[in-house]
Structure 1
């Protein structure tokens, strides 16, 4: 039995995988003497990507590798396959995530200094549970607060291959206007006081993840410096990272 074309094999495994596959993982699927080179894989993936150019499904490279996914243009209809509501996150959580993405590595206290309100433990725990954020070390100051940075899962979720693809904040801001976002009702200022401003409905403003993440960046001013653009410090797959207390500041 002859072997199918490389593009067809890759198409099949990517459809079945349900997650991004790296070039190394794809090579492992072949017999050693028949395994294509990395260049051959990339060429086949490029041809496959061109085949999907005018289809509802696209082949996309993200930080974790290559994956087949439905184009965002069809999310409205595909989303109706599931009865539960799409996952929504508070504005406070997305602002915290944006600060980590643009100022990493950053401590919880530094996030609070920029936002002007305390970051709840639940927000940090949610980001850790989603594996969008990880602890990369501790600041050498009294209390040794944990420093947070984003992960490959964060990049995969937002269709990025590296942090360098995040839009520059200078392009997102109106030069003559600085947007201000008052504290949310369940937030506290770092000194423990309750903010006087409540939203109209008395609760956190919810924002659905996706492209809305980028619109929030308009409100995060003067944070271009120190942008991390690679993940060379990531531990190898399978290496355990010491768990940290999300309440630690």
Structure 2
């Protein structure tokens, strides 16, 4: 049985009820922090602003339940919490807003591949898509802040590996990559052909920031010692 978060009226707390006063104070502080932040705030960031130790998850459950009936909701995104317009009112907020430039189909495909298959190289993206991928497509995704350079594959040529960023999670309202739709959800939404090949599966995405065993850090290429004299500054001749 799921636990129902208690309703707290922040404006109707008896002054002599110290526990209720402290709870209301903590909720108001969190509310103010979320309102003034453009990025998700995690438990550590919220706890650092509260006077004493408290259960952040329990506080967010209370505050989230209260905001669930409002025009602005509290959602979990990228491991933290943030305020976002209630889904059923999105069309109201969007009315009159400047329509952002839409991504090309190629960019959407590449972004999807990076999200589900990361860490992934450009060659691996092209192998999955079945067509070549222009550098401009990846540049657009890098500039958007949704894709980042992770490292280099431990393979001939040391190709760069790509992965998603916290900004990607925030934009799509995801707490973690594991919240991306699976096979059944994609099929139910009509995004997959009903005639799926036998054995077809969708990889379990992971946004672990650490490099994997087949990756190495993005670092400057080692200087060829044979070229060092050519790169050294020339001294003035006497």
Q: TM-score, normalised by structure 2?
A: 0.70
Summarize the alignment of residues 148-227 of structure 1 with structure 2, pairs less than 5 Å apart: 148-173=162-187, 176-177=194-195, 222=200, 224-225=202-203, 227=204
By how many angstroms is 1:122 displaced?
Answer: 1.7
Gaps of 5+ in 1: 180-220, 235-240, 245-249
Give CA deviations for 1:120-143 in whole Å, capped at 9, x if unaligned: 212111211222112222222222
Give CA deviations for 1:65-91 in whole Å, capped at 9, x if unaligned: 110110232222212353x22331111
CA shift in 2, pair 1:158/1:24, >3 Å: same
Give CA deviations for 1:93-119 in whole Å, capped at 9, x if unaligned: 111111111111111111111212221
- Asked if the contact 2:148/2:162 (under 8 Å) is kept, the reply is yes
> Does residue 51 of the first structure (1) align with residue 71 of the second (2)?
no
Match of 1:16 among 23, 32, 36: 36
Match of 1:140 among 128, 134, 154: 154
Higher gyration radius (CA):
2
Give CA deviations for 1:152-175 in whole Å, capped at 9, x if unaligned: 221121111111111113542457
Give CA deviations for 1:168-194 in whole Å, capped at 9, x if unaligned: 135424574259xxxxxxxxxxxxxxx
Match of 1:36 among 49, 53, 63: 53
Q: TM-score, normalised by structure 1?
A: 0.67
The size of the alignment, in residue pairs, is 190
